[in-house]
Structure 1
């Protein structure tokens, strides 16, 4: 059986262009390749959307296209992205085929192109006997996002971090007993969930480790599904054991700077004993991240800008607070004016001033100042002299002494400047009037003449 798995579509006004371009391509490609069933494994939307939102309308059109070609299962994702009830409207959008919304833990069988869900979390004995007699094309074990807040309220906040994984592992083991019987009867089994596997990698290359993640690989393989389709992590990755496979397709498009790997959807081939999955890349946007340890290299940026007309660009640098104005942000923005998007992220390093070593250990102000002068390589005598003057002298007397020193400073009279200029003119023109003035040696006699005579 050929199954197309899409995940983490994140439709929103901010991401509409990227999400709809990539998902639209994936829908068309899956239909062209003859997929039998479509699975959307959570986070179809990025946050709560109004009914008249263009993003919700675009998502509805794509789901309607899928339902015209094949049955569709949509799984409840993270509550912050898909508030409870968001997907209910999609259950009414089926056309030729049904759109089944899996918003609770249950098993679902595909029989004759229609979905039949279990009344409880698992098919009971009566349902299972009837199901095996009908020979469904596949049985899906659906495990949507668990509300951790409600779980913590029931078991306590301290136990919630570790107990959730144990509870889900118990359910998966129980579903494994049902799935094993279905596989013996020649029925393909598929698991669908939305959560974090311990040891998986995020789209930024960070390994997820700890005790608060939903699944372990051993617990997922205990479900005895030929294929286990996961959502939530935006990087495509997979694990295999005895022909059975667990995989994330990753997000349908590139929504954040620094994401690693290709974006796309998974085209699965599933039978009763094994499964395989191929990542089909989507036309996700190209993102370029340029980082500098210090101020940005404008020449390097100019070279890189020539090849980024089709890419979203992020430029990061770090610089001391006192030099922050030396970076020309307007010039950087002008360089990447042809890029569809630019994000500038300077990191300003605050100036940290530490006290001179040993100053706090001195007991007097004189000693502290002397120590500071020593460390700062400053001449101590005039500084200490002025400190003593401030400490013992009268403010008025200090001011008068400063003014007296200013009065004693020799200054050039403005008149002498004019005389010098006149003498320079005398030397240049050699006129009798100026010569007579110079002969008498009277510095002010030149005023008797007409300075402005032609």
Structure 2
């Protein structure tokens, strides 16, 4: 059976243009390839959508177009992206073929004529007669429910243990289907231990739902996963035939710094094995230009010539000290990147660290406070106290006359020496 596997469409207000362009192109290609079924493995929406929103209308129109060509299976994804009940409307589209929404743990048989037959319980006791393919559906697990049962500290481990038992429990039915010549597919949404995120970060921790061994234990030929936005796969040959686990990745590029191609998977699933191929979509191109200090405009021009930013989404990042924050020429950067589709400027400001003198506010006089400050920063307080006394006893005009006279008499000497080293009291008066 030839199956198109889409995932992580993330239709939303901010993502609509990218999601719809890429999903539309993917549907065109899937129809041209003559796929016999389509799977959406979670996170079709980026957040809860109202029915009147353009993203809702566009997603419904695209799913309807896909369902006019072949049966469609939609799996519940992450609750923060797809609040429970979000997908129910897609089962009402009334296309040429039916859309089945898998919101619970179940098995679903694809019957002749494109009809979906769900199991009454969590699995079929026997493979339905006339089934063309058998799908094992494990949507996102609500960890809050598990935590309420076993406690928050034990929830992650308990989820992994129960999913391992569950997937092994599907094996007998999938084994019978394979003997009868029926292709078997598992569809789920979650994190595989050791997988890589779209930014190249290994997903290692105790709160991830699956391991490859647990997924292979269900004995399906194909395992179609969602949630991680980077395409990757694992294969093994064994008693269950040639098995393949794969993330389709996100349909488009929704964040800066994402690695790898974006697209959907074109699967060929047989009773004895499965294989898949990534079909790229016209995802947007993103470029990161990073400076350790203040942006160097010459280096920026070289990067623009090297990468060719026309039509791309460009992010420029830099790190500067707090006193240099206003020295960054943002206007020139934007002007140099005028050919980009979008420019995002991100400056990281390193704040000034000032030493504090504990208890200084409790001192009685200003002179005492100055002495305490000078002790803390290890400087001579005499010069500062002298200037403080001058400010209290002389008028501003008198201070200015004295300062100018002192500067005039020492002008020749100060030309070759550091101002702070030669005449610290003059400097202190200037600051005052």
TM-score, structure 2 length as denominator?
A: 0.84
Q: Aligned residues, how many?
A: 388
Cα deviation, residue 368, structure 1? 6.9
Summarize deviations over 1:136-169 as a string: whole Å, max 9, x none.
1110000001111122112221211210011111
Summarize deviations over 1:38-70 as a string: whole Å, max 9, x none.
000000000011101111111111111111111
Please tell me whether residue 320 in structure 1 is matched to residue 321 in structure 2: yes
Please tell me whether residue 209 in structure 1 is matched to residue 217 in structure 2: no
Please tell me whether residue 238 in structure 1 is matched to residue 237 in structure 2: no
Helix, strand or coil at the partner of 1:206: coil
What is the correspondence of 1:52-451 to structure 2 with a 5 Å cutoff? Answer: 52-112=52-112, 113-124=114-125, 128=126, 131=128, 134-242=129-237, 243-305=242-304, 307-354=308-355, 386=386, 399=393
Aligned partners of 1:43 and 1:408: how far apart in 2?
75
**Unaligned 5+ runs, structure 2:** 358-367, 406-432
Aligned partners of 1:408 and 1:262: how far apart in 2?
72
Summarize deviations over 1:236-266 as a string: whole Å, max 9, x none.
0000011200000100000000000000000
Please tell me whether residue 30 in structure 1 is matched to residue 25 in structure 2: no
Helix, strand or coil at the partner of 2:286: strand
Aligned partners of 2:311 and 2:266: how far apart in 1?
28
Aligned partners of 1:143 and 1:406: how far apart in 2?
81
Number of the residue aligned with 1:444: none
What is the alpha-carbon root mean square deviation over aligned residues? 2.7
Q: Which has the larger radius of gyration?
A: 1
Helix, strand or coil at the partner of 2:187: strand
Please tell me whether residue 5 in structure 1 is matched to residue 21 in structure 2: no
The alpha-carbon distance between structure 1 residues 60 and 402, as it changes in their structure 2 partners (threshold 3 A), is: closer
**Unaligned 5+ runs, structure 1:** 357-363, 412-454
Summarize deviations over 1:345-382 as a string: whole Å, max 9, x none.
000001123479xxxxxxx9999788679x55x6x875
Between 1:78-87 and 1:146-155, the stretch displaced more is 146-155
Aligned partners of 2:296 and 2:43: how far apart in 1?
40
Helix, strand or coil at the partner of 1:69: coil
Query: Is the 1:42–1:77 Cα contact (8 Å) retained in structure 2?
Result: yes
Query: Is the 2:146–2:158 Cα contact (8 Å) retained in structure 1?
Result: no
The alpha-carbon distance between structure 1 residues 353 and 184, as it changes in their structure 2 partners (threshold 3 A), is: same
Helix, strand or coil at the partner of 2:121: coil
Aligned partners of 1:38 and 1:316: how far apart in 2?
40
> After TM superposition, where is structure 1 displaced by more than 6 Å over at least 4 residues in a row?
364-373, 400-411
Aligned partners of 1:409 and 1:236: how far apart in 2?
71
Between 1:219-228 and 1:300-309, the stretch displaced more is 300-309
Query: Is the 2:19–2:251 Cα contact (8 Å) retained in structure 1?
Result: yes
The alpha-carbon distance between structure 1 residues 279 and 405, as it changes in their structure 2 partners (threshold 3 A), is: closer
Cα deviation, residue 185, structure 1? 1.8
Aligned partners of 1:314 and 1:383: how far apart in 2?
47
The alpha-carbon distance between structure 1 residues 274 and 354, as it changes in their structure 2 partners (threshold 3 A), is: same
Cα deviation, residue 336, structure 1? 1.6
Cα deviation, residue 338, structure 1? 2.4
Summarize deviations over 1:151-203 as a string: whole Å, max 9, x none.
21122212112100111111000001221121122111100000000100000
Query: Is the 1:193–1:230 Cα contact (8 Å) retained in structure 2?
Result: yes
Aligned partners of 2:67 and 2:337: how far apart in 1?
42
Helix, strand or coil at the partner of 1:176: helix
Query: Is the 1:68–1:94 Cα contact (8 Å) retained in structure 2?
Result: no
Query: Is the 1:135–1:187 Cα contact (8 Å) retained in structure 2?
Result: no
Aligned partners of 1:366 and 1:33: how far apart in 2?
80
